[in-house]
Amino acid sequence: MAFVSVTLLFWIIPANAQNSQAKAVPSKKSVHAASKPETPHLEFVTEYLRELSAIEDIRVNAAVDENKNDPTSMFAEVIHTGTLMQLELKSQIGMLKQMRLDDPFSDLIPGIIGFYQDKIDRWQRLIDISSEFIGGPKVHVDYGKLGAEVPKVRAQLEYVDQGLLKIMPMVFMTLIDQKPDSKGHTSHLVITKDERDDLIKQIDTDFGAKLDAEHQDYEVSGGSILKAGLQKDFRCSDEPWE
């Protein structure tokens, strides 16, 4: 079992539409989607920001046992953290499924949900693998193969987070008023000055000094992107139009 101490190093996650043809008669699902009113964009962005903060809290508060002489505690912690992540992500999927955005952002929420489900599946694999290590050696279990799979799953989780980070600018873009000004520019947000200031304050409260760190994990980076967008020279909905 000498491989166990090496395997433990892999458990610590670093800090850092299908095509369809048009149909004459829409399905019940499409009718239901069309009848659901669009979610106010501020409500969507506020919820998404809350979701980033919740995942960040779980990651930061994960009590990783560094005692390499007690590997069972490490595996148990992976199960604990993974289960918390899954429960939070499932709750977030439930919240997002109640929301809907019109074009050009109609695919944004389903895309986020897809990423979340992918993370749930990856965490389940880490939970399954760590469960095999608890309780001592088992017959017919290839521990070397399981240990080698862990960094692969970890890389897959990181790749999903990279995908989520790439769509963060579009999350901010939902706050941009699509109506052009007299010069043909989209220069206004759909939120008031007070609402913008409240969002910035929420980002600062949730992530604090980590926003200034050189190396940021996905959740903090997402908050940084949103804050940077809010601080650009867009006018707010309660400011004069040109």
SS3 for 136-183, per residue? CCCCCCCHHHHHHHHHHHHHHHHHHHHHHHHCHHHHHHCCECCCCCCC
Q: Examine the pLDDT at 73 and tell me if it is beyond 70.
A: yes
pLDDT value of position 25: 35
In a domain, 172, yes or no: yes
Give yes or no for a contact between 28 and 38, defined as CB atoms under 8 angstroms apart. no
Max Cα distance, the chain (Å) = 74
In a domain, 21, yes or no: no
Q: Examine the pLDDT at 180 and tell me if it is beyond 50.
A: yes
pLDDT value of position 2: 31
pLDDT value of position 17: 30
pLDDT value of position 182: 82
Q: pLDDT per residue over 13-36, tens digit each?
A: 333 333 333 333 334 444 445 568
Q: pLDDT per residue over 28-70, tens digit each?
A: 444 445 568 999 999 999 999 999 999 999 998 875 545 455 7
Contacts of 50 (CB under 8 A, 6+ apart): none
Phi, psi for residue 176 in degrees, rounded to 5: -90, 130
In a domain, 192, yes or no: yes
Sign of the alpha-carbon torsion through 201, 177, 224, 121: positive
State the chain's mean pLDDT as an integer.
83
In a domain, 237, yes or no: no
Contacts of 216 (CB under 8 A, 6+ apart): 16, 210, 224
In a domain, 13, yes or no: no
- Per the structure, the complete domain to which residue 156 belongs is given by 38-230
In a domain, 7, yes or no: no
pTM summary value: 0.81
The domain tally of the chain equals: 1
In a domain, 177, yes or no: yes
Q: Examine the pLDDT at 96 and tell me if it is beyond 60.
A: yes
In a domain, 99, yes or no: yes
Q: pLDDT per residue over 191-210, tens digit each?
A: 999 999 999 999 999 999 99
